[in-house]
Amino acid sequence: MPSKKLILGILLVIFINLLQAFLTPLAEDEAYYWVWSQHLDWGYFDHPPMVAWWISLGYSIFQNELGVRFLSAFMSGMTILLCWKILQPKTKQEEKLFGLILGSCVVFHAFGFLTTPDAPLLFFTVFYLFTLKNFLEKNTWTTMFLIGIAFAGIMYSKYHGILVIGFTLFPILSNLWRNPKFYLAILFSLVLYAPHLNWLYEHDFSPISYHFSERSADEKFEIIKLVNYIGMVFLGCAPFLVYFIWKAIFRFKIENPFEKSVKALAILPVVFFLFSTFKDNVQPQWLLISFVAMAFISFWFWNKQPKNKTFYVLGLIGIGLIFLLRILIAMPSISPLYKDKDFALTAGKLSSEKVVLEKYQEASLFLFYNPQREVAVHRTLGNRKSQYTLWDWEESFNGQTVEYISPWVKSEHSFKGLKNRDYFIKKIENYQTYHLIEIRTDVNNLKFSKDTMILGIIITNGHDRSIEIGPNSLLKMNLNYYQDHQYNVIASTPISSETIELKPFEQEKIQIKIPRIDQNGKFHANFGIHYSPIGTTYVSKVIQIENP
């Protein structure tokens, strides 16, 4: 049974996180996931649905920031309880070491109140390690069902939860492969996960396509990415205890299969994401799963060493600075989160019509702080797809009067918005939507002449109404060249062609002539539709063009 001291400590942690949750405005991504929670489903464009369910439960109790973060704050206490049960500190010295290490770990603070998919991933990672330990020790039907639930919980939280499962099981397969209950646990977890697998199938595996292709389409290796990653690895867990943590990892001697799994979880994701830096821009929270394992290994190692005064002093300094930072992000005069809130409230006060924004984060903030309003997202240039793409809310705005709010589309009315930029409010009557236009290309048949290139395209109208593109329309086709990021357009070539009239859901294959640009070299390119009141939206995947 947990001691009174432990229960009081857990209640204190929950109270502090609840207070932080109440006093701090939402971050952009939290607002995005809150919008998900208002439209519950078995999956979403970016992630599995656990974060939406997580928020929905809390928001049903409190209809404010506290509600969005309520379950994260409550489950932070449950996470600590599970850590206690895994590590089992018994003496006062062990209890102090336990509190010092967990209190120094940034992830236990950040996702103790912030609600992103990493918050449920943190809980289910610890819950999984707890069930794995018990399954290895007891191998009962109860532990079999619990580890099956843990498998599903991790995968419902975030897709890279598969790394937690894979990297912890691989080193101990010799202990499991003859155990029938191990296979039954996997089967049980797949039954629990089946609704999401069906959702993925029904939505053409859009999250998989996004994470493995679309999000890194323009990424390339840069030395700064590797430098940043090394900094994350060494400083991300507990910055002031970095020496002690890595000394523990290198010197820790494994005594049982569970410890072998935990050590693999501490190291293998670090190696996996190291290779990711050659293509992707690794984010600190991706290493959360390793940081949890690092904390456990540090406890096991330093619990067997003589008390180190420097370790405790640095740990206390780290905890103090983390709490100072938590206080600062709750202060209106300092916190960037208050600027996000001010943007949403100001945009709501200065607009009166249906509002269209170009980024899903902006739209989500606007909707959270102006819940009675209608909002849609109209992507321009390189702004990525999001859940709003799947919902297709923009279509209901077609032909309506809207107010488009953006830092790029100028008008007479403006206000200071995110990143202290001027945001403009432009009224558009008879707003036209065309986001379901798709262009596919056959670059293998690209032909060059002196002044033009000829390319075959297939243009599809995904709308249930006719669309006209051409000289006499507000919609005109262009080809946009860039070399690094989609929004850094080097050249934009208008495509002069006869008017293209596409009936509902019609597909047309045409040959187009495109004027060649002056620059020679290799380029990324995107076909776009230029809508004169706003600008260009990309409607094709990235193609590679070498201009000889």
- What whole-number distance in Å separates Cα of residue 415 and Cα of residue 426? 12
pLDDT score for 499:
85
Tokens representing 322 are 């983390």
In order of 348, 360, 393, the CA distances from 409 in angstroms are 18, 17, 21
Secondary structure (DSSP) of 320-377: HHHHHHHHHTT-TTT-HHHHHHHHHHHHHHH--SEEEESSHHHHHHHHHHSTTS-EEE
pLDDT score for 107:
95
Amino acid at 51: V
Positions in the chain short of pLDDT 50: none
pLDDT score for 1:
65
* Total-model pTM: 0.94
- What whole-number distance in Å separates Cα of residue 181 and Cα of residue 195? 23
Give me the CATH code for the 437-547 domain, please: 2.60.40.10
pLDDT score for 215:
67
Tokens representing 168 are 């912890």
pLDDT score for 217:
59
The pLDDT tens digits of the residues spanning 93-134 come to 999 999 999 999 999 999 999 999 999 999 999 999 999 999
Torsion of CA 151, 280, 33, 123, to 10 degrees: 30
Q: What share of the chain is helix, strand, coil (3-state, %, to 5)?
A: 55, 15, 30
Coil, strand or helix at 314: helix
